[in-house]
Amino acid sequence: MRWEKLDLEVSLKPFQDRSAGGYERVAEQIFRQWKPLIDESERVSVMFWAADGSEILDYNGRMEDVFEWAKWIGVANPHSNSSGLPPEQQNIHERPRPYRAGDLPDWTYGDFRQLLGILRRVFRRQFGRELRIGATFDPGPEFAVSSFKYERHPEICRGFCLGGKTFVCCYTKLHADDRAYAAYPDGIPEGEPFGRFLGRQCRRYLSDMGFDYIWLSNGFGFGMETWGATGAIFDGCDFAPEKAEEVRRAMHDFWRDFRRECPEFPIETRGTNLSTGMDLTSDATPLREIYREVPDLEIPPNSPWAALDGDFGMELAGWMSHAAELPPGKGFPFRYYIHDIWFMNSPWLDRYGRSPHDIYLPMAVARLNGSGEAELPNALHLLSIDDSYGRMPDQVPQEVIPHLADARRTAPDQAGPLVWVYPFDEYHDLVYAGERLEEIFAGDYLIRGALNCGLPLNTVISTGNFVSAPEKALAGRVLVVPTTVTVNAAAAAKLERFLAAGGRVLFYGPARGEWIESLLGLVPASPLDGEFDVIGFGRVRHLARYSGGPLDRVFAPGAGAETVFEYRQDGEARPAVARVAKPEWNGGEALWVRGSNSFSMEKHCHFSTAFDRNVFAPAEAMLRGALAKFGWRIEFDKYSATTPDPRLTLRWHDNALYFSGFGTDTTVTERFRFPDGAPLFTGADALIRNGSACYPAERAVNRECRVFLGMKHGRVSCREQISLMPGVRRRILLDGLDGARVVFRPEAEHVESVRFTCGRYDDAKRTLLEPSLFESKLEYDGFGPKYILENISGDLLISWGEEN
């Protein structure tokens, strides 16, 4: 599957030979290294991290002027010396260093424009098509020295990341300045909106230099404190819903001003590290209006921060929530972090340790459109193709490209087993009405925590698309639904129809409101908060402030709910996880997970602080545990409570269930049993214990599963075999079966050709014209066709293909 767009991100550091020939040699190296991806992409871009965007702010139209460029390792504009050490001992966040020894020549705007022209010429010569080139604007202090942001106009900096007021807030206003700028030859007037100034400067700079688009970096345009959990309407302890409309309007004005002044250049965005609900409840971010009203805008990709902090749950939850809805006619991009230009790390080589988990985990993500069809990322961004020293080692593209190709080749082609129904519109409406901010905040954090505890959720659909999607697109799936979704009457009605047709829904969050309370049979109860014992799970801590309020619902007498887990405190009990099934649902079932977030925060803090797992079990893991009631049993055997859980995804591709994951700690044993049985991964061996398949956690895994086993105990293998005979496409050999029920899911285009024989060499020489040696039954479910065989012992050879 081809990419619609490939973005290669690069700095000026590799261009050390400042001659035209030197520029050409580096360009040729770039295009040689990434040629396999270039050949598989409709459009190709090079995006330059020349500085930090101050070259745009300072630009006055003269090509002979010098600009400050990103020649540093570390924070170019440090605002603190927290260590108190002398300069030579300070770290690179406190004192930057030049990226190489010796004199570092200046760059003029003319030099840079010449380089861009040579890149275009080399690309055209090699590939016979045009290269797009992008410029970048970053709001922070990291990349290049900025007198504009920190000396002349510090009034535009409000965010407190990296010490002091260091990050530009998009909806600030500038003080007067009599310096000449390209779009303001007479200087900046007092009170000029920053969006208007940046838009006018961008239009002149991009046009004069020959750029094709602008990238707005590090959350710029999406809030005030775009790296952290706090913001303009949440200080870490309290929400200020009364400010939401004012902040929303100010941010909306930024985008209106910028687009009015810079109308013709496409905009690409980095976005925040958080989710749509988190951005709304901390910063009143009008993502919906930005998507709908800003022309030619590409939505944010997945955050690169998972490489830094290991929070892959945040990466996946944030990306899915941002992609639940899209701007008209636009797709959504995937960004992969291979080098860092500024902070002396190359994630592929060191942070990831050459493990491709941050390829396979996010590339299992799909969004569903209004027709229920799976849509995949259409653009690939690579941050970046050079490292902090300007080096571009061949090893990295040689090793990374095959994994990108494999993940793309086996990308989801339908909804996964779990589908997140995301209230994109409803969350905006509620926040701007000043309602239920704490529930929205808690719900998105709960999903983030559940993903970090192994919940295999990687398909998202907005409530709007859910209402219009045909029922067959979601047949057999578990819908994962926040209780706040029920403010949408159409979505609530469709959920009822889904349940009545035998569907399964996992609700999460505080169940407040007439519809959800009636559906589940809940009634109000006295509120509880604090520490609880959960029998069969562990001791948990529920802080109402970060968990959508206190525990204040119980089941009405005669409701008929089955309590799976229960909070207990001083003789009082509240449901933690419960199952509800009604006769009129025709086999349909609902699970309700009340949900607690296992963290606390302090006022104006940057991040949340997780509870000590030696003391408190992560309550977010209850969502994964609840899935066992729907036939999806996923369990981990760990050395201790502090051993991190594997992060998992499950996706369907060509009627096979693909398992991708990150075995954060490879001492963990994973145990799986799904509705079809214990999954047998192609090319793997498994111990079957109590009906579950046991596997050691692998640091990175991307496994096909076409075979599921109903067997109590044993040791089995599932291995690819040679085809041996013309017309045979593939063979898979199962070994070690003992009275097993075998479910086999064939490739969608090769259902009729499947044959089941023994595993001897003579059987492998059989053609597909001969009948199977074992009786099988062909059935269809919501995912596709499957063969079922009963009471199989010994080995089983499965072959399929077409005869010549």
SS3 call for 493: helix
Indicate the angle between helix axes 424-432 and 276-283, nearest 10 degrees: 10
CA distances from 614 to 99, 538, 569 (A): 43, 11, 20
DSSP 584: G
DSSP 667: T
Complete DSSP assignment for 352-387: STT-THHHHTGGG-EEE-TTS-EE---EEEEE-SS-
Determine the pLDDT at residue 184.
98
Tokens in use for 429? 């409406």
Helices (H), 128-169: 147
* Strand ranges, E, within 520-607: 522-528, 530-534, 538-542, 551-555, 562-569, 572-580, 589-593, 599-600
Determine the pLDDT at residue 203.
98
Q: Could you give the CA distance from residue 247 to residue 240 in angstroms, rounded to a whole number?
A: 11
Cβ neighbours for 702, distance < 8 A, ≥ 6 positions apart: 356, 360, 406, 407, 410, 658, 659, 660
Query: Per-residue pLDDT tens for 565-619?
Result: 999 999 999 999 999 999 999 999 999 999 999 999 987 677 889 999 999 999 9
SS3 call for 72: strand
Element at 781 (helix H, strand E)? none
Cβ atoms within 10 A of the Cβ of 177, count?
17
Length of the chain: 804
- Kindly calculate the radius of gyration of the chain based on its CA atoms and give it in whole angstroms: 28
Let me know: does 268 contact 232? Beta carbons within 8 Å: no
Task: For strands 459-462 and 418-422, give the pairing.
Answer: parallel
3-state secondary structure 416-472: CCEEEEECHHHHHHHHHCCCCHHHHHHHHHHHHHHHHCCCCCCEEEEHHHHHHCCHH
Determine the pLDDT at residue 160.
62
| Low-confidence stretches of the chain (pLDDT beneath 50) | 804
Determine the pLDDT at residue 287.
98
Cβ neighbours for 583, distance < 8 A, ≥ 6 positions apart: none
Task: For strands 379-383 and 333-337, give the pairing.
Answer: parallel
SS3 call for 588: coil
Q: Could you give the CA distance from residue 277 to residue 14 in angstroms, rounded to a whole number?
A: 40
SS3 call for 246: helix
**How far does Cα 469 stand from its chain's mean position?**
23
| CA-closest candidate to residue 676, choices 632, 627, 714, 734 | 632
Determine the pLDDT at residue 171.
96
Per the listing, tokens 């009008």 go with 286
Q: Could you give the CA distance from residue 803 to residue 789 in angstroms, rounded to a whole number?
A: 24
Element at 657 (helix H, strand E)? strand 656-662
Q: Could you give the CA distance from residue 799 to residue 776 in angstroms, rounded to a whole number?
A: 14
Q: Could you give the CA distance from residue 703 to residue 682 in angstroms, rounded to a whole number?
A: 7
SS3 call for 717: strand
Which residue segments constitute the domains of the chain, with CATH numbers given? 3-409 (3.20.20), 418-637 (3.40.50.880), 648-801 (no CATH)
Let me know: does 459 contact 412? Beta carbons within 8 Å: yes
Is omega for the bond preceding 41 within 30 degrees of 0, making it cis?
no
Helices (H), 64-183: 109-127, 147
